[in-house]
Structure 1
Amino acid sequence: MKKTRLLAALLLVLTAAFSSCTKEDTDVDYVVGAWYSHSQFEGLARNGAVSFVLNGKAYVGLGTDGTDKFTDFWEYTPGTNTWRQRASFPGVGRYFAVGFAANGKGYVGTGYDGLNRLKDFWEFDPTANTWTQKADFGGSARYSAVAFALNDKGYVGTGYDGNYKKDFWQYDPLTDAWTQKPSFGGNKRLGAVAFVANNQGYICTGLNNGIYETDNWSYNPATETWTEHRKLEGVDTNGTGYDFSAVPRAYAVAFTIGNNAYVTLGNKDTALLSCWAYSPTDDNWYQKTDFVGSSRISAVGFALGNAGYVTLGASGSTRYDDLWTLEPDADVD
């Protein structure tokens, strides 16, 4: 009888211990998302590059190795995990530019060439493999701005032109014209991230006069209005238990998979590896598995299919050329 009671007690302890490790009971400790290494970027290692996605392929170029400012551009095909060099960018080499894809073409502009802030803009035709100069950016010459595309129009805002900026501009590829829109709803900043989710453009994170910004705003192109969402501060009390004050940073990367956005890398006084997913459905942030490569800033990120990609970047004087993918719903052992 004593042995039976002892076994029963032991089973109860084991059951309780197992239950405490389930996803439902320890949401704050249960983190999913797996990172995998892929074919290295074929150009030279660099930071401050740009990227855009067209027809299921990613295009990556520009940037700096700390000395040279690059003009080369490369195409990545996820199905074969291969890189192919494409026509070089015809403008001056630069870093901290912006890029987006709209109406079947890629667009690149603004940035810094080491001496001058820039405002020229260029269009890339992937079929013809050619670049064409377009109308200059409508705002002031600047670098470290953000960009996204919605409904085949591009949007560019924030950045630094000698002062921190929060103006916001729309580019129409059909008319090759820039139109100023209502200014970004948050504070001025540089080194922020932008992404598209739920058919709206979002801008968050970034740095303003030494302050890491904690606001998150979305832009509705139909109404031309900005809406503020959950602040990136404090501990969430609606179920996750995560400390959202770990999300703010500068010079991070962002990409969208499905209807969720992902923010990773960057720095907040020190280099960061953490990765966060934002759900516009419940206006909540969810922690994902930390990036498994080296910590870095000024990398590039993009999404292809159901995976996010991160490549390039810098840590001090070290530049990177590795490529990593995130499968956001994969379990990590």
Structure 2
Amino acid sequence: MKTKLLSILFALFISLSLSSQTWTQMQSVGNSPLGRSAGVSFSNSIYGFIALGRNANSIEYNDCWKFDPITQSWTRVTDFPGSSRKNSFVFVIDSFAYVGAGSAGGVLKRDFYRYNMNSDIWDTLANYPGAGSRILFSGAANGKGYVGGGWNTGPEDDFYEYNPQTDSWRQLPDLPFGDRSTGLSFVVQDTIYFGLGHDGTSNYNDIWGYSVKDSSWTQKASFLGLGRYAPNIVHVNGKVLVGGGGRLGSSNLSDYYLYDPSANQWSSAGPTPLSNRSAALCFSLLNKGYLFGGTANNIYHGEFHLVEDVSSSLQWTNIPSLTARANAVGFANHEFGFIALGNSSASSNNNECWRYYPTLDQWKAVARFPASPRRNSFAFTIDSFAYVGAGQTNNSHSNKVYRYNMNTNQWDSVANYPGQGLRLNFHGAANGKAYVGGGATGFSGITYHDGFYEFNPVLNTWRALPDLPFGNRSSGISFTIGDTIYFGQGYDGTSDRNDLWAYSVRDSSWTQRASFLGVPRLSAVAIVVDGKAIVGGGFRATNSSQKLSDYYEYDPRTNQWSSITVPSAATARSNATTFKINNTSYVFGGYQANNGYRGDLWEIQGIISSVDNIENSEKAKLYPNPSNGELFINYSDWIEYIRIYDSNGRLVESRRIQQVGKALKLNLDLPKGQYFIQLDSNDEVVTKSFMIH
């Protein structure tokens, strides 16, 4: 479904254009939360929840997500009603989660809220009265909540009891282990366990149990590992799994241990697939533990792991979730869109491949790219196959190319790319062949290239063509309209560019086209809607941290550019991934200066802008008109697609035809009214009006 937070719809009426676009924000990152740490997590007997937290760019969140373990799917639920924040506390009583305090943009908070996990409603409660307002100890037992310690200008040791019946707080004697924050909290029956953490000087590994029956404290067996803060904690089949976390003055840890509360004993949990991360968002559900995100070495993860007790040993499973990223590749067939590869930090590449189903607005993990994780690869589509190749790992390049069958979900290798440029290439496909060129190599010293190659999928061979006419270059835009592939913009090692070149695959000729209207740039967004290109975003070579927000539409039939406006949330990004399903284009992710790596998905549809723009082409005839639903088309040229729009310009039907339109019959199940039909031959788009009566 469309996102609850933002659904923006607008029409752009451009005098030179037959159509305009609607931009709609879809659910982010495959209906799953962005990578983060320092949030809150909780569960009931059916679902797990995560909320709040921060990313690598110190962007804080107020979103809340529900996880269904049966379908292994996330759903965004009602956002936290307070300001976006990190390091809040949480405890659960009955079907309610109580969330409060934390740090919002450096401002310490003490506001307090209750979330009904059944009705998806938040309520405001009495503020937390304690001195510490972030990274506190917290838990609940026997119908009351207990919160204490934490950090204000330093560590604190005060301790409070919350009564949900009276919505009131009562101060208790201070914590017996002194001033401390950022430790662990877990509950077993009527005992709340606090421990580990730091006081600003020392790391601790002690564990304390608070009995709510008689309000007494007991020191328990100390944690087996080193003292640490911000560990990860889940319940697994009656035991408590604790590990990871960080140490003052040291790097994060990766060891995990199991605590048996009935025996008051710790034991090693053995190896885990987790990296040395801290502050993950953890919850337990149906005797299983779930760990989402966390941070290690300033990498904010979006991975999601399940841990369960199988035959007296722990079994870990990675539950796929599409994370925010840039520098990925995109491709599509006529039903699904796909993204693969990319990176979510400067050093975190991946080899995942995800399939997007627009009808349900859902993502699904499919077969992984069969080689090492990478970014800045090229991709093109021929028939039902996507070809993905070249790219870079953290310290090397690859010339390998792989073919992905979008119907069977299988990868196989094809002939290596012979060019010298092995990342950030220009690329496209038309008339059953593909064309790749330019690009860059090197790390400490970067070399730019101008080689140009044709790939024949029938022969599985590459053929060198004359060099690109615009010289050595990488990081530009590529898009295809009909049998013409357009390359432009980019960087040549000295300057960023704004020129545009068209390569006709019919006669292998190059033509320089009208230059892009905006300032020169690299890593811009480029999509095609209704036979026109939309190009914008990106950045200047002289200021890569500032992303550009201007967008322009290019009409290849008039060779003219015009300025357009797009939703502000979609602009000012670079290194995004695009794909096109029929006449609808999509922009995913990329990088924004203020928001870091993005996981949002935008859908861009063409709409008919006005009746005055309908063409009276003699090449196309419709009859009978008006029609009772049976409509015949006579069109002298090849028809690739037919699209039908209602009187408001909204797309109501799209069909791939792939034949000459002589006496073409359509049976339309549409309500009475006026409609517009577009006949798309790839070379031109003819629009006619008709009536259903």
Range into which the TM-score falls when normalised by the shorter chain:
0.7 to 0.9
Alpha-carbon offset, residue 320 of structure 1: 0.8
1:189-208 equivalence runs, <5 A: 189-208=180-199
Amino acid aligned to 1:62: L
Query: Looking at both structures, which has the greater relative contact order when contacts are Cα pairs under 8 Å and sequence separation is at least 6?
Result: 1
- Structure 1 position 174 matched with structure 2 position 165: yes
Moved over 6 A (4+): none
- The CA RMSD over aligned residues, in Å, is 2.0
Quote the residue 2:252 is aligned against: 271
Quote the residue 2:149 is aligned against: 158
Alpha-carbon offset, residue 40 of structure 1: 8.6
Quote the residue 1:297 is aligned against: 278
- The residue matched to 1:207 in structure 2 has which SS? coil
In structure 2, the CA distance between the partners of 1:331 and 1:267, relative to structure 1 (3 Å rule), is closer
Amino acid aligned to 2:258: A
Residues 43-86 of structure 1 show CA distances to partners (whole Å, capped at 9, x for unaligned) of 21111110111232111010111332111000011121111100
Percent identity reads 25
In structure 2, the CA distance between the partners of 1:150 and 1:332, relative to structure 1 (3 Å rule), is closer
- Structure 1 position 252 matched with structure 2 position 231: yes
**Native 8 Å contact 2:132 2:150 kept in 1:** no
Quote the residue 2:456 is aligned against: none
Alpha-carbon offset, residue 94 of structure 1: 0.4
1:81-100 equivalence runs, <5 A: 81-100=72-91
In structure 2, the CA distance between the partners of 1:331 and 1:319, relative to structure 1 (3 Å rule), is closer
Amino acid aligned to 1:320: H
Residues 140-164 of structure 1 show CA distances to partners (whole Å, capped at 9, x for unaligned) of 2511112111012111111101121
Task: State which of 35, 38, 44 in structure 2 corresponds to 1:54.
Answer: 44
Amino acid aligned to 2:196: T
In structure 2, the CA distance between the partners of 1:258 and 1:152, relative to structure 1 (3 Å rule), is farther
Distance 2:226 2:267 in 1: 10
Distance 2:31 2:217 in 1: 36
1:63-212 equivalence runs, <5 A: 63-65=53-55, 66-140=57-131, 142-212=133-203
- The residue matched to 1:298 in structure 2 has which SS? coil
Distance 2:123 2:70 in 1: 29
Amino acid aligned to 1:301: C
Alpha-carbon offset, residue 135 of structure 1: 0.3
- Structure 1 position 330 matched with structure 2 position 313: yes
In structure 2, the CA distance between the partners of 1:331 and 1:214, relative to structure 1 (3 Å rule), is closer
- The residue matched to 1:74 in structure 2 has which SS? strand
**Native 8 Å contact 1:119 1:140 kept in 2:** no
Alpha-carbon offset, residue 313 of structure 1: 0.9
Alpha-carbon offset, residue 317 of structure 1: 2.5
TM-score calculated relative to the size of structure 2: 0.39
Quote the residue 2:35 is aligned against: 45
Amino acid aligned to 1:330: S
Alpha-carbon offset, residue 210 of structure 1: 2.3
Amino acid aligned to 2:275: S
**Native 8 Å contact 2:136 2:182 kept in 1:** yes
Greater helix proportion: 1
Distance 1:119 1:140 in 2: 9
Distance 2:154 2:121 in 1: 34
Amino acid aligned to 1:108: V
Q: Indicate the larger mover: 161-170 or 83-92.
A: 161-170
Distance 2:314 2:263 in 1: 23
**Native 8 Å contact 2:41 2:49 kept in 1:** yes
Task: State which of 239, 253, 265 in structure 2 corresponds to 1:284.
Answer: 265
Quote the residue 1:20 is aligned against: none
Q: Indicate the larger mover: 258-267 or 75-84.
A: 258-267
Alignment gaps of 5+ in structure 2: 1-28, 317-693
Distance 2:227 2:31 in 1: 28
Distance 2:150 2:140 in 1: 17
In structure 2, the CA distance between the partners of 1:284 and 1:247, relative to structure 1 (3 Å rule), is farther
Distance 1:83 1:206 in 2: 31
Distance 1:257 1:331 in 2: 9
Amino acid aligned to 2:68: T
In structure 2, the CA distance between the partners of 1:332 and 1:315, relative to structure 1 (3 Å rule), is closer
Alpha-carbon offset, residue 312 of structure 1: 1.1
- The residue matched to 1:118 in structure 2 has which SS? strand
**Native 8 Å contact 1:185 1:227 kept in 2:** no
- The residue matched to 1:211 in structure 2 has which SS? coil
In structure 2, the CA distance between the partners of 1:216 and 1:289, relative to structure 1 (3 Å rule), is same
In structure 2, the CA distance between the partners of 1:227 and 1:90, relative to structure 1 (3 Å rule), is same
Residues 95-137 of structure 1 show CA distances to partners (whole Å, capped at 9, x for unaligned) of 0111111132111101101221111100111232111110001
Alignment gaps of 5+ in structure 1: 1-38, 233-243
**Native 8 Å contact 1:185 1:228 kept in 2:** no
Residues 221-276 of structure 1 show CA distances to partners (whole Å, capped at 9, x for unaligned) of 111111112234xxxxxxxxxxx2x2421111212234322212102322111111
Q: Indicate the larger mover: 287-296 or 323-332.
A: 323-332
Quote the residue 2:302 is aligned against: 321
- The residue matched to 1:227 in structure 2 has which SS? strand
TM-score calculated relative to the size of structure 1: 0.80
Quote the residue 1:12 is aligned against: none
Residues 261-317 of structure 1 show CA distances to partners (whole Å, capped at 9, x for unaligned) of 221210232211111111122221011123312221111111111211111111233
Distance 2:262 2:255 in 1: 22
Distance 1:200 1:332 in 2: 27
**Native 8 Å contact 1:273 1:292 kept in 2:** no
**Native 8 Å contact 1:41 1:311 kept in 2:** no
Amino acid aligned to 1:315: A
Amino acid aligned to 2:47: K
Amino acid aligned to 2:175: F
Distance 1:177 1:247 in 2: 37
Amino acid aligned to 1:253: N
Distance 1:127 1:228 in 2: 37
Distance 1:182 1:54 in 2: 30
